[in-house]
C-alpha cells in the first residue's frame, strides 16, 4: 500500500530555512519519483520540484535559487530544503508519488 507522510516544523521565522521530510512506504525511491507541491491558504496548487528515481532533480524556476530536494533511499525519505523564507511561503506542503498518491500535507507558517 503506497503511503507518503510529510513532517516538519509548523512555524518558521522569516529569512530562515525550511526543512521538510517525506517518508514513503509501499514503494522504493530507486524506482519511483517524488514531487513536492505547495498550496497557500485559500489558493491554488504550485508544483515545486521533483526528485527522479535516478536521483536527478528539477525545480520550479521561480523557486530554483532557494530550493533543494534530496533523498535517502535506505530510509525511504525525501527531503525538501528551502531558504530565505518569507511570509508568502506560508502554505500546506505536499509530497506526492507522481499524480496518484499524495501525502496528507503539512502546514507551514512563516512568521516572527
Partner 1 sequence: DIVMTQSPSSLAVSAGETVTINCKSSQSLFGSVRQKNYLAWYQQKPGQSPKLLIYLASTRESGVPDRFIGSGSGTDFTLTISSVQAEDLANYYCQQYYDTPYTFGAGTKLELK
Site for partner 1, rule CB under 8 A:
35, 44-47, 49-50, 58-61, 94, 98-100, 102-105
C-alpha cell at 111: 512568521
CB 69 within 8 A of CB 35: no
Q: Which is nearer to partner 1, 60 or 68 (CB)?
A: 60
Least CB distance to partner 1 at residue 14 (A):
25
Q: Which is nearer to partner 1, 74 or 101 (CB)?
A: 101
The three state secondary structure string of 91-107 is EEEEEEECCCEECCCEE
Q: Which is nearer to partner 1, 16 or 92 (CB)?
A: 92
Q: What CA–CA distance (Å, rounded) separates 95 from 93?
A: 7
Residues in the chain: 112
The 8-class DSSP code of residue 112 comes to -
Least CB distance to partner 1 at residue 69 (A):
12
Q: Which is nearer to partner 1, 52 or 79 (CB)?
A: 52
- Strands 11-12 and 57-59 turn out to be unpaired
Least CB distance to partner 1 at residue 106 (A):
11
Least CB distance to partner 1 at residue 93 (A):
11
Amino acid at each position: 500500500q503506497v503511503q507518503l507522510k510529510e513532517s516538519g516544523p509548523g512555524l518558521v521565522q522569516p529569512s530562515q530555512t525550511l526543512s521538510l521530510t517525506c517518508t514513503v512506504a509501499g514503494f522504493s525511491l530507486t524506482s519511483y519519483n517524488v514531487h513536492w507541491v505547495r498550496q497557500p491558504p485559500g489558493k491554488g496548487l504550485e508544483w515545486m520540484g521533483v526528485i527522479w528515481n535516478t536521483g536527478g532533480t528539477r525545480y520550479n524556476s521561480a523557486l530554483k535559487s532557494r530550493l533543494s530536494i534530496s533523498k535517502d533511499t535506505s530510509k525511504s525519505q525525501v527531503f525538501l530544503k528551502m531558504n530565505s523564507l518569507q511570509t508568502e511561503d506560508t502554505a500546506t506542503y505536499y509530497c506526492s508519488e507522481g499524480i496518484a498518491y499524495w501525502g496528507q500535507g503539512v502546514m507551514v507558517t512563516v512568521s516572527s
